[in-house]
Amino acid sequence: MILYEYPFNERIRTYLRLETLFRRLGTLLDREDTVDHHFALTTIFELLEVAARVDLKTDVLKDLERQKQLLDSLRDHPTISQSILNDVVQQVDRCLAGLGAQAGKIGQTLIDNEWLAALRNRIAIPAGTCSFDLPAYRAWQHLPAGQRQADLARWVEVLTPLGESVLLLLGLLRDGGQTQKFVAMRGQFQQTLPTGRSFQLLRLQLDDQAGVVPEISANRLMVSVRMMRCEPDGRIQPAAGDAAEHVAFDLTLCG
């Protein structure tokens, strides 16, 4: 199965971008090759770009507080495991404490680091980190892998409270969704959303052998999915016509 996600608002769109970057960074940090560490630094700079939004920290803290209030309201509920609930509440509390303890803008110490700032200015330029441009970076690349990993871990630690908070919030959001099975008849599907409900994330899963890609659009009133087929020449065409284009998929709406 291939999972596609579609955010209903800009805040969740930002969270998904951050999640993608943090997961990529986690993979790169475990490796020892110089090229992997180069792209780990590139990912750190991408995270700083996404996190530069002025109200991001406030949004995350508000969402964590909202989740804490919701979880506290489930205390003593007969169908809720209180031990699991306590574990989740503790995770929320740790994220609130970690992110709240950071003064000022997210990643400000990395932005103020002169060595990283010089690298960040050059890394977006094609081959802008050659030795004749940044000899100090060249020297760093020749350090033992363990030392480079230690440097990267120290820089990433500044962003860790944000990463843990975003991953927790997205996990809680996804867990709250209900999955239904649908079929896109002749490659088309539309569903009117229930009134009085506010959704933040759409999740669509379909068989990886279906040979189609979903083109999703959604707002507070309606969800629309159009299945697109990838042609051998690279073009993407609507998958419509005969019964073979009736595509089954799972749809989850998370509020």
CB 201 within 8 A of CB 174: yes
CA dist 156 and 137 (Å) reads 18
pTM: 0.91
Check whether residue 154 and residue 63 sit in a common domain. Answer: yes
What does the block give as tokens for 64?
């964590």
CA dist 183 and 255 (Å) reads 22
Using the predicted structure, report yes or no on whether residue 242 has a pLDDT greater than 80.
Answer: no
User: What would the mean pLDDT of 103-118 be, rounded to a whole number?
Assistant: 92
Residue 127, domain extent = 10-171
Check whether residue 163 and residue 184 sit in a common domain. Answer: no
What does the block give as tokens for 223?
């969800």
Mind listing the pLDDT tens digit for each residue in 186-199? 889 999 998 888 89
User: What would the mean pLDDT of 51-79 be, rounded to a whole number?
Assistant: 90
Using the predicted structure, report yes or no on whether residue 210 has a pLDDT greater than 90.
Answer: no
Q: Which residues neighbour 78 within 8 Å (Cβ) at sequence distance 6 or greater? A: none
What does the block give as tokens for 251?
């749809």
Burial class (CB in 10 A: 0-12, 13-18, 19+), 16: middle
CATH code of residue 182: 2.60.440.10
Provide the pLDDT for residue 114: 95
DSSP H helices, 74-188, are 82-100, 108-112, 114-123, 135-141, 145-157, 160-175
Decide which of 171, 198, 225 is a domain's last residue.
171
Provide the pLDDT for residue 19: 98
Check whether residue 184 and residue 234 sit in a common domain. Answer: yes
**Tokens 């199965």 sit on residue:** 1
Check whether residue 146 and residue 56 sit in a common domain. Answer: yes
Decide which of 141, 171, 201 is a domain's last residue.
171
Check whether residue 137 and residue 99 sit in a common domain. Answer: yes
Q: Which residues neighbour 75 within 8 Å (Cβ) at sequence distance 6 or greater? A: 82, 85
Using the predicted structure, report yes or no on whether residue 76 has a pLDDT greater than 90.
Answer: no
